[in-house]
Amino acid sequence: MIDSGTTAWMLVCTALVLLMTPGLAFFYGGMTRAKSVLNMMMMSFVSIIVVTVAWVLYGYSLAFDAVGDGSGFLNKIVGGLDYVGLSGVVNAVYEAASPDGNFPLMVFSAFQLTFAIITVALISGAIADRAKFGAWVVFSVVWATVVYFPVAHWVWGGGWLGQLGIEDFAGGTVVHINAGAAALALALVIGKRKGWRKEPMRPHNLTLVLLGVGLLWFGWFGFNAGSELAPDQTAALAFMNTQIATAVAAGAWMIVEKLRDGHATTLGVASGAVAGLVAITPACGFVDPWAAALIGLLAGVGCAYAVGLKYRLGYDDSLDVVGVHLVGGVIGAVALGFVAAYPFADGQEKGILIPGGQLSQLGLQILGPVVVGLYSFVISWVIGKAIDKTMGFRIPEEAEVAGVDATTHAETGYDLGTVYASGVSSPNGPAAPAPKKVDA
């Protein structure tokens, strides 16, 4: 029996989460220089394309199918192949805890697909301005296959971390730590942008950044509240906690900047909001509102300082995927070991600051990020290196200086000057209108 309310709610959430990836494209695109805005946005959009295809062919199966009856060792590591090509999904039902809440398995598959897409897209922020587009396409499909699909299985698909009882409501570990660690590896493989720390690399359009954050914030309600997979009290809690943590984190980052640098900036508010969204992601359905505020505060202050690490350590994580997503994800995941109040699955416990809390949960909340972070970092580094040695991961220096938009995509993001525009001709395009005859 299919519940229409749950089905409607999950369809809406799926669309909300998909909207986050174009939102991310704006968020990232505005932060690059004007000459590479299109390439930056394309890296997000192309992950919608390639991850969708991989998901339909085998990704959903590897992430969410069980091997055999699910009790064997292999099922701890990766899913089975029963759903290859989405076979068997069309008429299947996602069985909720209460049969009143069942909804089509196809909706569950589509919902989870949107998570896989944005996780891949998140990584691209580390390699702004300088990556070969084809290399990125190859990386994204290989990374999704050997990192995202298995890790999603570990935590949500019945794999070993889920069996142990790790708490990751909407993807702090699966999405943000996973993407952040991969971003760090790619930033190291591909190297610094030419002129990094010598030339100004200011965000070229902060209005796009704010638009992107608005879309992310909006879509994130589907991400977090939707992860309850039911329109119920826990979904409501996740929804409100998302709002609380995000607002507090944006405010915290703004105050840090005002006190440290002298000005409250739009980029600071935008970054703080994303840091809060990231940190509350694993926790949103497990904690009370006061704990959501605390997590937002830790994320806003912690990430505001973490984004400076790249200058000390010397890696060009261009748009701070590490400082915001890896660090924010770890803050949220570990915080659950202290403040988790509403565990619901087998093996999950309360955090140690909550009456009845177990130290073992804190251990698990540290183990998950460490294992997933290391796995993602190592595999991403290997994939990145392999691509770099074969097809090359970086565009030539003169193309980077001229701008990746013009050299890779043969387009420019903005056409504002009349002098520049006057040089445009289109030999193969529509013919120019014939000049009108003027009678003398």
Partner 1 sequence: MRLITAIIKPFKLDDVKAALEQFGIKGMTVSEASGYGRQRGHTEVYRGAEYQVDLVPKVRVEVLAEEDDADDVIDVIVKAAHTGKIGDGKVWSVPVDTVIRVRTGEQGPEAL
Query: What is the contact surface with partner 1 in residues (CB under 8 A)?
Result: 200, 202-203, 257, 260-263, 265, 267-268, 271, 304-305, 307-308, 311, 320, 323
Could you give the CA distance from residue 11 to residue 142 in angstroms, rounded to a whole number? 28
**Beta carbon of residue 323, minimum distance to partner 1 (angstroms, whole number):** 8
| 333, amino acid identity | A
Residues 6+ apart with CB under 8 A from 332: 172, 176, 278, 279, 280, 281, 282, 283, 295, 299
Least separation in angstroms between CB 36 and partner 1: 16
| Nearest CB to partner 1, comparing residues 23 and 203 | 203
Spatial distance between the Cα atoms of 233 and 338, rounded to a whole number of angstroms: 22
Tell me whether residue 89 or residue 184 sits nearer to partner 1 (CB atom). Answer: 184
Nearer to partner 1, 257 or 349 (CB): 257
Nearest distance from residue 431's CB to partner 1, in Å? 30
Q: Where is 249: in which H helix or E strand?
A: helix 233-261
- The residue (of 180 and 351) whose beta carbon lies closer to partner 1 is 180
Say if CB 26 and CB 208 are below 8 A apart: yes
Q: Which is nearer to partner 1, 320 or 400 (CB)?
A: 320
Element spanning 46, H or E:
helix 37-54
Nearest to 138 by CA among 146, 128, 130: 146
Q: Give the strand pairing for 93-94 and 103-104.
A: antiparallel
**For partner 1, which is the closer residue by CB, 324 or 336?**
324
* Contact in structure between 14 and 226 (CB atoms under 8 Å): yes
To partner 1, the closest distance from the beta carbon of 216 in angstroms equals 17
Q: How far is the CB of 265 from partner 1 (least distance, A)?
A: 7
Task: In angstroms, give the least distance from the CB of 264 to partner 1.
Answer: 11
3-state secondary structure 308-319: CHHHHHCCCCCC
CB 175 within 8 A of CB 216: no
The continuous run of DSSP H or E covering 154 comes out as helix 149-155
Least separation in angstroms between residue 200's CB and partner 1 is 5
Provide, rounded to whole angstroms, the least separation between the CB of residue 267 and partner 1: 6
Tell me which amino acid residue 126 is: A
Q: Within a 13 Å sphere around the CA of 155, how many CA atoms are in the beta-carbon half?
A: 27
Nearer to partner 1, 198 or 389 (CB): 198
**Shortest Cβ distance from residue 261 to partner 1 (Å)?**
4
Minimum distance, C-beta of residue 370 to partner 1, in the bound complex (Å): 26
Q: Is 346 helix (H, G, I), strand (E, B) or coil?
A: coil
Measured from the CB atom, the residue of 92 and 201 that comes closer to partner 1 is 201
φ, ψ at 236 (rounded to 5°): -65, -40
The secondary structure of residue 431, as a DSSP letter, is P
261: three-class secondary structure by DSSP: helix
Nearer to partner 1, 4 or 418 (CB): 418
359 CB neighbour count, 10 Å cutoff: 11
- Distance separating alpha carbons of residues 354 and 252, to the nearest angstrom: 25
The least distance separating partner 1 from the CB of residue 307, rounded to whole angstroms, comes to: 5
Query: How far apart are alpha carbons 191 and 31 in whole angstroms?
Result: 19
Closest to partner 1 by CB, 262 vs 435, is: 262
Considering beta carbons, is residue 132 or 193 the nearer one to partner 1? 193
Tokens of 58: 């085998």
